[in-house]
Each structure stands twice: as C-alpha cells, then as structure tokens.
Chains A and B, each alone.
Chain A
C-alpha cells in the first residue's frame, strides 16, 4: 500500500476504535497486515533530491570549465586535469559501496558525478588532441562506459542519463536504419534495472522519472521504425503509435492499480494522453488521406533491418490487441474502451480503402462513446477526476469539430460558453451531492 494512504489509515484507527466502528483486535490485525510506516520517506526524498541536484551541478560545472579550453596548460597537465575528477569520483564510489552501501542519496550523487566525469574526461582528451568525429559518437561511448554503474551501485538517475543519451543518439541516426536498430538492444540493457526498481518501490519518484524517460525513449525509437517502414506504406505510424499508447495505458493500470494519484503512475498518464491524442487525430481526414495517397510500393522492403522492423511492429500490435482482449475478458469497461484503439485503427485502415469518411466517422463515434462513458462512470462512482477527464475529452472534441467547420463566430462563442457552464454545473452538482450524502 502507498505510504501516504497507510499514514491516513493509521491516523484514522484510534478514532474508529473510540467510535466502536473497529475493535482493537481488528485494528491490531490491520497494523500487522500492513506493517510499519516508512517514516523517513519524505525526508529521504529531500536528501536524495538535494544530493542529485548538487552532484549534477558540480559535474556539469566541471564540464563547462573544461569546455573553456585552458590553452596555458601543457599537454601532460591537461591529461592530469582531465583524469583527476574522474579518479576522485571513482574513489568516492568505492568508499560509498564499502562504507555506506545502504545510502541511496550518496550512491545516486556519486554515481551521477562519476557518470558526468567520464564524459568530461573524454571531452577534454578530444579537445587536447583535436580528435575528429561528431558529438554523437562521443555520446555513445560515454553512455556505454557509465551504464554498468546502474547495476553495480543500484542507482536510477544514471540510468535516466543513459536512456536520455541513447535517445539523443538514435535521433541523430534517423535516416540510417542499420544504425538506428541498435537502439533496441541498447535500451534493453536498462530494462532489468527498471523492473528491479519497480519491485523495490513502484511508487518511488526515481522509478517514476525513469518510467517516463523510457516511455519517451521508446517513442523516439519507434519513430525510426515508422520512418523506415512508412516508405512502404504510410499507415505504419498510425498503427505503431496507437499500439504504444495503448500498451502504456494498460500496463499503467494493471501494475499501478492500488494508487489513486496520477503522478505516481506516470506510464499510465503518458499512455492515457497518447491514446487521447491518437483518438482525436484520427477523427481528422489527413491521416486517412495519407494512407490513400501513398499506395504501398510494389514489393516489400526485405532488407534485414526492415524485416526486424516489421517484426517489432507486429509484436507491438499483437501485444496491444491481446492486452485489449484481456481487459474484455476481465469485464474492465473503461480499460476495454481505451484499449480498443489499436483494434479500431486496424479496422479503420481496412475501411479507408472504401472511403476516408468511414474511419473518420468511426473515430468520431469512438471519441464520443469514450468521453460520455467516462462521465457516466465518474458520476456513478462519485469520482470527480474521471468526470472532469471525460468532460475535458468531450469539450476538446466538440471545440475541434467547431473550429474545423464553417460555423460562424456567434455560434462558436455560444458553444464555448455552454461547455464552460456544463463543466461548472457538473462539478457543483457532484460536490453538492457529496455534501448531501455526508
């Protein structure tokens, strides 16, 4: 259970016992079941945050000092200067592992410092000897030299630096699929650590940051696949991004079920926003026109990279659809609705051959159904957040349709006002109803 929720429960227990709602034995059993509160949670977060910030600033400051280029220094002197901060960081890493192996703050900050100093050392050597080559090759060797730290020191922020680094690297090779495909094994290197950090504490902020960075990074990686495969058929990006967003959304729901705050389940939020954006985009004509305008090139691209890309796409779509069917099987209405996106995309692609208006209409209905269902479920469960989410979706959808059409400004203005009043009235009604109940 989340520490915050547990704290609330333990605060409530004495009152509940006094009022006779719970017996002392039940309260004791609850205590025994949930265990002790992690009392230093907030304090340790602040310490970790300050240490991470401090180490990052010092490390980046040293990189900037090196970048100034101290011409007065002789070559041997520059070699000493470039290696000494790295060696100091490494000595600190040994010290932390031997003397303070349980201090997250120390481990994170020292690992960040070593990570940045590896980059600084390579940068200063490159500068001293005028080494040719693009920044991007330098970034890859840097990232490969720091990634073992993640496992040896059990640290998360260097993992974030690594994922950000390889994402920058893959963006540079957007037009070289043979290079870009290496991104996936590079990303896979960090997955065991990510799973481990979720097992440690799935609601930890650091695991959350890593989750978001990995999610964004996956999108960057998929961009290379869609760019490669779009040459064959222009519908790939629709299928790929719908599937990614759905997988993130459903993964987030299943694995972070017991929490109610959004910031503690970032993958779910990321997926939800993604599904919403894809739904809305597909109500427009241009994605479907794009598919129709560019018919598949005769003969499929059968290079080994394209073959791997086809395979990844297939795996992605297969996973998304099987997750959707699992939701249907479990009769999880809301998840099934959001999870239906890739299935509808595949149907839409098929229907677009007849006319582009059909898939547009299909997605108009889809957005309408999802948003109204959200409002209904929210009202039924008395959950203001879900009601507002549904209303927000519906409002954006209506406003977009209005801007898209030739309706005059007076009507557009009135619709704006009506939606605003609708928002306020629903919220007021629900809050009043809650007060009435209490």
Chain B
C-alpha cells in the first residue's frame, strides 16, 4: 500500500518535472508560430552562465517610455509596454499602461528606474541570446567591428504575443549572426 502511494506520488512528480520544461517549450513555440515580429535595436556584449553556457547580453535601445500622467508608479512595478514601429522599421515603446492593452502589440515589463525628465526606464524580457561556446566571443568581436564604422546595425527579431516575448534571432548588418560567423570562418 505504502509503495503504491510512493510510486503514485513519484509519477506525479515525474510529470511535474517534465511539464515544467515542456510548458516553457510549448508557450514559446506558440509565440514563435503566431506572434507578431518586431525588430529591436540592441547593444550586445558577451558574458556566460555556468549552467546555460555562453550568451550575448542584449541591451535593447528602446527600453524607455514617457511617464504616464496621473498614474503613481513605483520601482519593480509590472507594466504593459505598447510597441510601435519607427520610420526605420525598428520597434520602440510608445507608452506604458498599468491596464492590459487591447492592441496585440505590447510587452510585459517592469519599471527599472526613473529618468531625470519625463522618462521611465524598463526591464524588458529581451536580455540574452545564447550562442555556441566559441561563437559568442567572435560574435561580440564582429559587433564591435561594425560599431567602429558607425554602422550600429545590430538588432534582434522578437516575436510578441499577449505581452510574452521570444527572441527569434540576432542580426548584424541584416544577416543572422550564425550565418555571418559561418562566412567569416570560410
């Protein structure tokens, strides 16, 4: 009887252990399939994580929005950042709201700091792009070369659905970083 109960409970735990990564996968696959794509301009640098390997840390340029009038905001508060596309085709945050917007183009974000003027800085869920161990430092080098020539043309394509974002790819000079690295190696 006791063993049956333990086996039953272990079965539930096993399902939970699998469901946890699986739900992460399904949620993101749905966003990648049905989400709206935006280009966010970024500034990449190259750190590493002991469990998840090397990644390129992304600092999204469009991480600020005008402070909404008549709404009291505090640090760390969850807000909804509405996305618009500028004349160059890059995404930027037009406004933030505390109520979930009806328009589909918005991101869940947190307030990271308040600017000197009428600005609010945001923590956006776009902060890393994982790469192969040796590729990440080379990718950073390529980015630096590009920024030296005043190109500054690094951006990420992000799929967005219901405030949830999944980074699809990192592009430098219009090419996916992985393809650019392959060309360099040839």
Q: A and B: partners?
A: yes
Interface residues of A (CB under 8 A from B): 63, 66-71, 75, 79, 82-83, 86-87, 90, 93-94, 97-98, 101, 114, 118-133, 135, 138, 141, 145-146, 148-149, 152-153
B54 at interface, CB cutoff 8 A: yes
Indicate whether B53 reaches chain A with its CB closer than 8 angstroms: yes
0/1 interface trace, chain B 12-47, chain A, CB 8 Å (1 if under):
011011101110110011000000000000000000
- Write out the residue numbers on chain B whose beta carbons fall within 8 Å of the beta carbon of A135: 49-52
- Out of B18, B25, B53, which one reaches A66, CB within 8 Å? B53
Query: Is the pair A67, B53 in contact by a Cβ cutoff of 8 Å?
Result: yes
Known: A69-B131, A127-B52. A79 touches B25 (CB 8 A): yes
A131 vs chain B, min Cβ distance (A): 7
Which of B6, B22, B52, B127 touches A152 (beta carbons < 8 Å)? B6
- Output the residue of B10, B13, B52, B53 with the most chain A CB within 10 A: B52
B121 within 8 A of A: no
Cα distance A135–B55 when bound, in Å?
13
Known: A83-B21, A90-B14, A125-B25. A69 touches B126 (CB 8 A): no
If over half of A's interface residues share one DSSP class (helix, strand or loop), that class is named, otherwise mixed; here it is helix
Chain B residues at the A interface, C-beta cutoff of 8 Å: 3, 6-7, 9-11, 13-14, 16-18, 20-22, 24-25, 28-29, 49-55, 124-133, 135, 166-167, 178
Please determine whether B13 and A152 come into contact, CB atoms closer than 8 angstroms: yes
Given the complex, which residues of B lie within 8 Å of A129, measured CB to CB? Answer: 24-25, 28, 166-167
Identify the interface centre among B17, B18, B124: most chain A CB within 10 Å of its CB.
Answer: B17
Tell me the nearest residue of chain A to B20, going by C-beta: A145
The 7 A-B pairs with the shortest beta carbon distances in the complex, nearest first, are A67-B53, A130-B167, A129-B28, A127-B130, A132-B127, A123-B51, A121-B21
Q: With A122-B21, A123-B51, A141-B20 given, is the CB distance from A68 to B13 under 8 Å?
A: no
A146 to B14, CA, bound (A): 10
Cα–Cα distance between A217 and B166 once the two chains are bound (Å):
36
Of B13, B18, B125, B129, which is within 8 A of A87 by CB? Answer: B18
Say whether B9 contacts A152, CB under 8 Å. Answer: yes
**Which chain A positions have C-beta within 8 A of B14?**
90, 93-94
Q: Is the CB–CB distance between A93 and B10 below 8 Å?
A: yes
Asked if A152 and B53 sit within 8 Å, CB to CB, the answer is no
Instruction: Report yes or no: B132 in contact with A69, Cβ–Cβ below 8 A.
Output: yes
- 4 more CB-based (< 8 A) A-B contacts, given A83-B21, A122-B20: A127-B53, A131-B28, A132-B124, A152-B10
A86 touches B51 (CB 8 A): no
Contacts of B135 in A (CB 8 A): 69, 71
Q: Which residue of A lies closest to B136 (CB)?
A: A69
Q: Which residues of B contact A114 (CB under 8 A)?
A: 17
- Please name 21 pairs of A and B residues whose Cβ atoms are closer than 8 Å in the assembled complex, sorted by A: A67-B51, A68-B132, A69-B133, A71-B131, A75-B29, A86-B17, A98-B7, A118-B20, A119-B51, A121-B20, A125-B21, A125-B24, A125-B25, A127-B55, A128-B25, A128-B130, A131-B28, A132-B124, A133-B127, A135-B51, A148-B9
Docked Cα-Cα span, A122 to B167, in Å, equals 17
Which residues of B have CB within 8 Å of A145?
16-17, 20
Question: How far apart are B111's CB and chain A's nearest CB, in angstroms?
Answer: 16
Docked complex Cα distance between A71 and B52 (Å): 13
Assess whether B130 is in contact with A69, with CB atoms less than 8 Å apart. Answer: yes
